[in-house]
Amino acid sequence: MKQVTTMMCGSCANENAYKSIFLWYRQRERGADAGFTPEEMESCMLNQAPGSPPLCMLSFKGGFSRAHNGVLSTTRSKYLHKIDVPAFDWPVASFPAYKYPLEENKRENEAQDKKCLAEVEELIESQKKKGVPVAGIVVEPIQAEGGDNEASPEFFQQLQRIAKKNQVALLIDEVQTGGGPTGKMWCHEHFNLDSPPDIVTFSKKMQLGGYYLSPDFQPQLPYRVFNTWMGEPAKLLLLQGVVSVVKRDGLLALVRSSGERLRAGLLRLEREFPHLLGSTRGRGTFLAVSCPSAALRDDLVSRLRQRGVQTGGCGELSIRLRPALIFQEHHAEIFLDIFRQVLAATK
């Protein structure tokens, strides 16, 4: 991915990445050297075909693409983000729902992968028949807002192959996972994909929003992707400083070692308090654990906060952990000790 477009936030990064996918799709249909027809130019101003074509993005249940109107159509995590707001009738596929521990449920989890991938292929085909073809697939490496739901490298490898076979773009949304919290700069680096994704969006730890894209997705004309604020140069200077410190201090390796200590401690707490915790999961320090009920989850998050520890809820039942890249192994032990005290005091 040799091109980069900077934006102000994760929402406008995904929003304009979708636009780039639609432009790529139509340019391919139109032909590399073909211009716009008068009919296309007139009809787009009325939100009608052919200038405003019937295309769609395919997303996954539990996904969170942010909250602007276009990306809200591919957000499937919480009703509060979506209710009362008009949205596109775009297709949604199931995301794998794994059983834990992973090593003890390999067969069931492989079946989840196959079921969800088959659903993706069926939706691509059904959308073609409806006359509203899928131009792109948007997927998070870990569905953060939806509950820290993860999928296997094999799932993402097969998803990319399905996209390529059907000439559909693959957008990997790294707004929450990008910048190092999984122990690699980009979470999709864990997946050993056959080739880079077509587009990768980023924000949060990257100091500003934007997306990397392969040259085929670079618009051929100016102003096709255009905002008042196309990113901010001052934030690029901050990002330059962040990246230099990450490299200088070996922070990705630190995330991996601290994450192993944190994960091992969560698994110990699972064994000690099996009626309170389960399904420890994630990569690096980008971790989560589930509770039997939302009420218990919210109570634990509240009491941890009272002890000076900021965690958060995600999905229906999960507590998520999001330490900074400088989080060290002894910090993990401090957290685990406090968490154990809170769990021991739970009635």
Long-range contacts of 101-110 (CB under 8 A, 24+ apart): 102/281, 109/152, 110/154
Residue that is last in its domain, among 245, 264, 299? 245
Q: What is the pLDDT of residues 218-269, one digit of tens each?
A: 988 888 898 888 888 999 999 999 999 999 999 999 999 999 999 999 999 9
Same domain, 10 and 150: yes
How many domains does the chain fold into?
2
* Calculated CA dihedral for residues 173, 167, 69, 5, nearest 10 degrees: 60
Our answer to whether residue 113 is catalytic in this structure is: no
CA-to-CA distance for 283 and 252, rounded, in angstroms?
12
Options 173, 191, 280, 311, the catalytic residue = 173
Q: What is the pLDDT of residue 227?
A: 81
CATH code: domain of residue 310: 3.90.1150.10
Options 33, 84, 228, 347, the catalytic residue = 228
Pairwise pLDDT comparison (123 vs 221), residue with the higher score: 123
Same domain, 54 and 112: yes
Write out the two tokens for 150: 């993860």
Q: What is the pLDDT of residue 2?
A: 87
Our answer to whether residue 84 is catalytic in this structure is: no
| Local confidence band at 78 (pLDDT 50, 70, 90 cut-offs) | confident
E-only strand ranges, the chain: 3-7, 56-60, 92-93, 134-139, 142-143, 149-150, 169-173, 199-202, 209-213, 278-283, 286-290, 312-314, 318-321
- For residue 319, give its domain range: 251-344
Options 60, 64, 156, 327, the catalytic residue = 64
Same domain, 232 and 260: no
Same domain, 105 and 202: yes
Q: What is the pLDDT of residue 226?
A: 86
Supply φ then ψ for residue 334, to 5 degrees. Answer: -60, -50
Which of these ranges, 137-151, 168-182, 224-238, has the smallest mean pLDDT?
224-238
Our answer to whether residue 311 is catalytic in this structure is: no
- SS3 of 242, please? helix
Nearest to 92 by CA among 129, 58, 137, 115: 58
Q: Is 338 exposed, middle or buried (0-12, 13-18, 19+ CB in 10 A)?
A: middle
Predicted structure pTM score = 0.93
Our answer to whether residue 173 is catalytic in this structure is: yes
Write out the two tokens for 272: 């000690």
Supply φ then ψ for residue 164, to 5 degrees. Answer: -65, -40
Nearest to 98 by CA among 273, 314, 263, 278: 278
Q: What is the pLDDT of residue 247?
A: 98
Q: CB of 1 within 8 A of CB of 200? A: yes
Same domain, 327 and 191: no
Say how far residue 333 (Cα) sits from the centre of its chain.
Answer: 29
Write out the two tokens for 24: 């790529």
Options 19, 78, 204, 235, the catalytic residue = 204
Residue that is last in its domain, among 218, 245, 272? 245
